[in-house]
């Protein structure tokens, strides 16, 4: 880890540096340089995606040598979400989550510990920023710290992540969306996908019923099924999650 004259110096330096980020190249240079030296991690991944009680949908990310195999093994092939005990803990608290292999093993399921060790992650700190609607968030996952993880790293991460969030959104503008991996293409029916697309356009149940020549109660039934299948709490949450999963289009070309 790089030595600064004070913790305040490095904090201010990082906040100012991330505030100046305008693109992916600048973000990556800062992560690989100043941030890595300050925190002492070896690998990291940062991205944005949807959140739900069932897990997180990855929309876009920038990877700094984090093993993709780890994410493939925590992927739910039915709905394309990824989840882990630490992700669940973060969704509940929105506070930095920490794991040190060996020291913290008794706090988490043995199968996840085995997976963690399989990919030689050693330790981890994860944090992010949840949007005001509670539907999507950024995520920053750091692993393989040279020192045992604890309060020292947490304090810095907690302060700089809000500005990292802003920098990440700028950096991701030119990044392609993460490929959707859903084995069960029948998670929602064709009719429900039609309804989701019209929900995205802001149509009411009555309007959707008239467009699709259904009864309003039939539309309501389908929407209830959509919410349950996607693990969504409301219509907006369902639409955004469906977009992240590639079930409906992100543009306005509904008839194309």
Contact present, 68 and 104 (Cβ < 8 Å) = no
* Local structure of residue 77 (DSSP, 8 states): T
- CA pair distance 79, 242, nearest whole angstrom: 9
- CA pair distance 187, 251, nearest whole angstrom: 22
What 3-state class would DSSP assign to 6? coil
Domains of the chain: 7-174 (3.30.450.80), 190-244 (1.10.10.10)
pTM equals 0.73
* Local structure of residue 67 (DSSP, 8 states): -
pLDDT in tens, 40-54: 999 999 999 888 777
* Beta-bridge partners for 97: 126
What percent of the chain has pLDDT above 70?
Answer: 91
Task: Name the helix (H) or strand (E) containing 59.
Answer: strand 55-64
pLDDT of the residue at 68: 87
What 3-state class would DSSP assign to 78? coil
Answer whether residue 180 shows pLDDT above 80: no
pLDDT in tens, 200-218: 888 999 999 999 998 888 8
Contact present, 181 and 78 (Cβ < 8 Å) = no
| b/e per residue 154-188 (b: at least 16 CB within 10 A) | bebbeebbebbbebbeebbeeeeebeeebeeeebb
pLDDT of the residue at 252: 46
pLDDT of the residue at 255: 41
Q: Mean pLDDT across the stretch 139-146? A: 97
4 phi/psi in degrees, rounded to 5: -115, 160
Task: Name the helix (H) or strand (E) containing 222.
Answer: helix 216-230
Q: Mean pLDDT across the stretch 148-172? A: 96
Q: What is the dihedral of CA 114, 116, 117, 118, to 10 degrees?
A: 80
Answer whether residue 253 shows pLDDT above 60: no
pLDDT band at 256 (very low <50, low <70, confident <90, very high): very low
Placement of tokens 């969030």 in the chain: 165
- CA pair distance 42, 106, nearest whole angstrom: 25
pLDDT band at 250 (very low <50, low <70, confident <90, very high): low
């Amino acid at each position: 880890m790089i030595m600064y004259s004070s913790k305040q110096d490095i904090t201010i330096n990082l906040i100012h540096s991330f505030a100046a980020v305008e693109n992916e190249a600048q973000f990556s240079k800062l992560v690989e340089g100043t941030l890595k030296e300050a925190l002492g991690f070896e690998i990291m991944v940062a991205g944005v995606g949807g959140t739900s009680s069932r897990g997180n949908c990855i929309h876009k990310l920038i990877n700094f040598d984090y093993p993709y195999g780890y994410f493939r093994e925590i992927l739910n092939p039915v709905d394309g979400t990824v989840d882990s005990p630490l992700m669940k803990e973060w969704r509940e608290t929105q506070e930095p989550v920490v794991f040190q292999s060996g020291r913290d093993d008794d706090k988490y399921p043995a199968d996840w510990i085995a997976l963690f060790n399989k990919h030689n992650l050693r330790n981890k700190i994860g944090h992010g920023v949840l949007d005001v609607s509670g539907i999507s968030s950024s995520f920053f996952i750091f692993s393989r710290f040279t020192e045992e993880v604890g309060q020292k790293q947490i304090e810095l991460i907690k302060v700089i992540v809000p500005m990292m969030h802003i920098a990440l959104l700028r950096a991701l503008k030119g990044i392609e969306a993460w490929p959707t991996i859903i084995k069960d293409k029948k998670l929602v029916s064709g009719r429900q996908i039609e309804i989701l697309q019209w929900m995205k356009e802001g149509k009411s149940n009555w309007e959707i019923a008239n467009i699709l020549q259904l009864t309003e109660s039939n539309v309501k039934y389908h929407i209830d099924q959509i919410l349950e299948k996607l693990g969504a709490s409301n219509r907006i949450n369902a639409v955004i999650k469906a977009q992240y999963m590639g079930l409906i289009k992100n543009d306005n070309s509904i008839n194309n």
